[in-house]
Amino acid sequence: MLLASLAALALISLWWLWHWQYAQAQAEARRHAEARLALYGSSLQGALERFTYLPDLLARQPLVQAVLLDPAGVFLPQVNAHLARVAERSGAEAIFLVDAEGVTLASSNHAGPDSFVGHDYRFRPYVQDALAGGRGEFFAVGSTTGRPGYFIAAAVGQERESPTGVLVVKVSLESLQTDWRRAGERVLLVDANGVVILSSRPEWRYRRLGELSPRAQAEIRAQRQFMEHPLEPLGSRLGDGSLRIGEQGLGERYMASALPLATLGWRMHYLTPVRPLYVSARNTLLGGVAVWLALLLLGLWLRERQKRQRLREREARIFREANEQLEARVVERTRALHEAQAELVQAGKLAALGTMAAGIAHELNQPLSGIRTYAANGERLMQRGRSEAAEENFQRIQGLCERLATLIRQLKLFARKGGAREPVDLRARLDFVLELLAERLDKQEIAMAMRLPEAGAPWVLGDEVRIEQLLTNLLRNALDALHGVEAPRLEVSIEEASSCWVVRIADNGPGIPEALLDKLFDPFFTTKAVGDGLGLGLFISFGIVQDLGGRLQAGNNSTGGAWFRVELPRAAVQLKRETDHE
Ligand code: ADP
């Protein structure tokens, strides 16, 4: 629908464009024609008016009049010479005098081969008009010379009613025709009957523009106006008023502009070829077609672009939707995972609680049953009066109570959560713990190898008590492991890593059996004899390190012995403080 109306619009606009351009070109051509006609018309009028006074002037001259009244012809040579002189001066082609009968008495060309003298011109209307009304004018092809000319006649005689003769001036218009031809223009001068009397093209002369009435034909013949010329039609008038000249098909079409002249009902025609008008209209039409084609191409391109844009948008939408679905699924899965994790944690907590409860029950049970046994034994010994032996039992009970107190202290420590996280000098804490253990180190004759940071204190985030607890646990375990070992050796180092400080404690003891590495940090895991270890040391240490945001790992050296590695986050504030000091 849109396409059809666009096509209709294009056709209408092209049709209008063609007509508009043609009308423009036609109007322009008409303006030009009118300007040229005005110019050529006035130059023709000027050429004719130059001579209008001359016949009258000559007719009044006594010498001329005398010839008509002089049958003997005494004045003839004189008049002939006079007329020849005047013709030469004025530029007229010929000047001659006819008597009342129409016969030429004297002429400017009396001496030439085409002399008019003796010729009878009564048949010419200018002679008749002058004899009848005093003046006459006419265009005709000369019957004597065959040369065309404009004849102006004036009656000669004292009395107006009965003239004695007629004086005629013949004006040649050939020079005008030559001017038109030189200007390369198509100009016609047509008489009242529609016969071309002057033309810029010689072959168009003496041809008629319309039909001649029988009366006009008879008159022309009687006046011998165009002598033997057949007066064929010049061309045919077409429906739009244009003129076709020449053979059918080969002929050319002209647009004719006409200017009526004052003389003898003449009309001047200016012909403009129609073909250039069509050519200009056609060129404009082609321009219009080109514009429409460009618009069409632009439209197609825009449509294609729009299509591609829509496709891209659809792709983007599909992509976005897929993304959103994927994200939704990820969120869903993450949620499910969290739930599962929470459940696991819960289960883990319960299991840990169970293990712990069992461990605590066991740990409490043993000393308790010991206490009960020692108390019963003590009682019996007291009854028997063996108080020294009973004393020993009391001492044992004290030892077991001590053990229970230790357990409870450990548990209390474990229960103590959080604590402050402030910068702690790791090295100072290590020194402090080593100081506490100095006696044991000495007693066991342990060789110490320390590697500490050379400059500045290793500041970590935590609280002093728990960090001391952590270091004590690890060092104590190492000392326990070195019991009875030959050439016991302990390596302690503090090193800097990207965002933390690393403490490494390694011994050359028996190491940890591979199979037990996994359980090392479980609560109540111990390989020590009952009474020697509770199996809470590493469990608590692990909890402390995690709480401080660090990491605790254990393994065996390739050369034998175990190592423990603690990562503790560095205290950034302290670093700054240090640089301030510098
Ligand atoms: P406890 O010292 O009361 O046994 P811990 O949790 O501190 O409890 O230690 C658990 C177990 O880990 C110890 O019983 C011991 O078997 C093992 N362990 C700890 N440190 C070392 C070490 N340096 N070398 C060998 N074994 C160790």
What DSSP assignment string belongs to 233-291? B-EEE-TTS-EEESSTTT-EEEEEEEEE-SSTT-EEEEEEESHHHHHHHHHHHHHHHHH
Q: How far apart are CA 390 and CA 463, in angstroms?
A: 46
User: Is 550 buried (19+), middle (13-18) or exposed (0-12) by CB count in 10 A?
Assistant: buried
Residue 553 Cα, ligand 1 centroid: separation in angstroms? 13
CA of 473 to the centre of ligand 1 (A): 9
Closest protein CA for atom 18 of ligand 1: 477
509 lines ligand 1 (CB under 6 A): yes
User: Would the CB of 475 count as within 6 Å of ligand 1?
Assistant: no
Which distant-in-sequence residues (6+ apart) come within 8 Å of 61 by Cβ?
82
Give residue 575's pLDDT band: very low, low, confident or very high (50, 70, 90). very low
Q: Whose CA is nearest to atom 16 of ligand 1?
A: 527
pLDDT, position 576 = 45
What is the 472 CA–ligand 1 centroid distance (Å)?
13
108 close to ligand 1 (CB < 6 Angstrom): no
Query: Most confidently modeled of 52-66, 98-112, 124-138, 440-454?
Result: 440-454
CATH superfamily of 50-171: PAS domain (3.30.450.20)
Measured in whole angstroms, the distance separating CA 122 from the mean position of its chain's CA atoms is 89
| Nearest atom within ligand 1 for CA of residue 521 | 6
pLDDT > 80? residue 529: no
500 CA from centroid of ligand 1 (Å): 25
The pLDDT value given to residue 283: 93
Task: Give the CA distances from residue 144 to residues 97, 149, 206, 227, 407, in Å, rounded to whole numbers and listed in that order.
Answer: 15, 12, 18, 10, 167
Q: Is the CB of 542 under 6 A from ligand 1?
A: no
Centre of ligand 1 from the C-alpha of residue 562, in Å = 10
Given the structure tokens 């940071």, which residue do they identify?
453
Nearest CA to ligand 1 atom 8: 535
The one-character DSSP state at 120 is B
Binding site membership of 506 for ligand 1 (Cβ less than 6 Å): no
pLDDT in tens, 295-317: 999 999 999 999 999 999 999 99
For residue 48, name the pLDDT band (cuts at 50, 70, 90). confident
Per-residue pLDDT tens digits for 250-279 = 678 888 888 898 878 889 999 888 888 889
Q: Distance, CA 537 to ligand 1 centroid (Å)?
A: 8
319-334 mean pLDDT: 95
One-letter amino acid at 288 equals G
Q: Which atom of ligand 1 is nearest to the CA of 532?
A: 3
- Whether 581 shows a pLDDT value over 50: the answer reads no
Q: Which amino acid is at 207?
A: R
* CB of 526 shorter than 6 A to ligand 1: yes
Helix (H) or strand (E) holding 136: strand 135-141
Tokens coding 310: 């829509």
CA 463 to ligand 1 center in whole angstroms: 24
Residue 582 reports pLDDT greater than 50: no
Q: How far is CA 269 from the centre of its chain?
A: 57
Nearest CA to ligand 1 atom 26: 512
The Å distance, Cα 555 to ligand 1 centre, comes to: 12
- Domain limits, the chain: 50-171, 417-569
Tell me which of 477, 507, 522, 527 to substitute to probe ligand 1's pocket, judged by most ligand atoms within 8 Å of the beta carbon: 477
Task: Kindly report the pTM of this predicted structure.
Answer: 0.51
The CA 482 to ligand 1 mean position distance, Å, reads 11
Q: Is the pLDDT of residue 574 over 50?
A: no
CB of 535 closer than 6 angstroms to any ligand 1 atom: yes
Token pair for 88 = 């030469």
Ligand 1 centroid to 533 CA: how many Å? 8
417-569 maps to which CATH number?
3.30.565.10
